[in-house]
């Protein structure tokens, strides 16, 4: 656990936990972490992520996939942003790859009496045989 004050951002606090991340760890996180920088940074540590893609931050069009695994389950290539992240030092930024293959999963939650919601998850767990979409969705939904 990392604790801070109201002047410290969640990402900065998380980065202080890097010594506790081991190869093979899987971070299951909210939409604040579902981006290129966090996904690529975790890959440099040989760790993986399951996170929600921020609404409106990245338009996801499943017609432009690299490889489709099923309906709402496909591989995409995310490119490194042109501007360095202020959260990473120069060496960490340079260590990030120019592009990263990620798996996106679109899921619709319907519950009687509630509004239907749709969200998209990003993960670096690419193999659908080892990591079925249902298990990844269950892991994300049970994180609370």
pLDDT of residue 115: 67
pLDDT of residue 55: 73
Output the pTM of the full model: 0.83
Those residues of the chain that have pLDDT short of 50 are none
Strands 73-79 and 26-29: unpaired
37 vs 43: CA distance, rounded Å: 10
Cα-Cα-Cα-Cα torsion 53, 121, 80, 131, nearest 10 degrees, comes to 170
pLDDT of residue 33: 85
pLDDT of residue 103: 95
pLDDT of residue 56: 67
pLDDT of residue 62: 65
pLDDT of residue 121: 92
């Amino acid at each position: 656990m990392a604790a801070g004050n109201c002047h410290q951002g969640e990402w900065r606090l998380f980065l202080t936990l890097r010594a506790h991340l081991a190869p093979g760890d899987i971070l299951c996180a909210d939409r604040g972490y579902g981006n290129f920088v966090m996904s690529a940074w975790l890959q440099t540590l040989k760790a993986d992520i399951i996170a929600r893609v921020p609404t409106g931050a990245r338009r996801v069009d499943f017609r432009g996939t690299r490889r489709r695994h099923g309906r709402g389950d496909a591989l995409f290539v995310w490119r490194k942003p042109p501007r360095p992240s202020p959260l990473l030092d120069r060496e960490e930024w340079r260590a990030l790859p120019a592009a990263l293959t990620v798996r996106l999963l679109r899921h619709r939650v319907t519950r009687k009496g509630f509004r239907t919601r749709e969200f998209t998850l990003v993960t670096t767990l690419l193999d659908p045989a080892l990591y079925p979409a249902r298990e990844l969705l269950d892991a994300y939904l049970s994180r609370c």
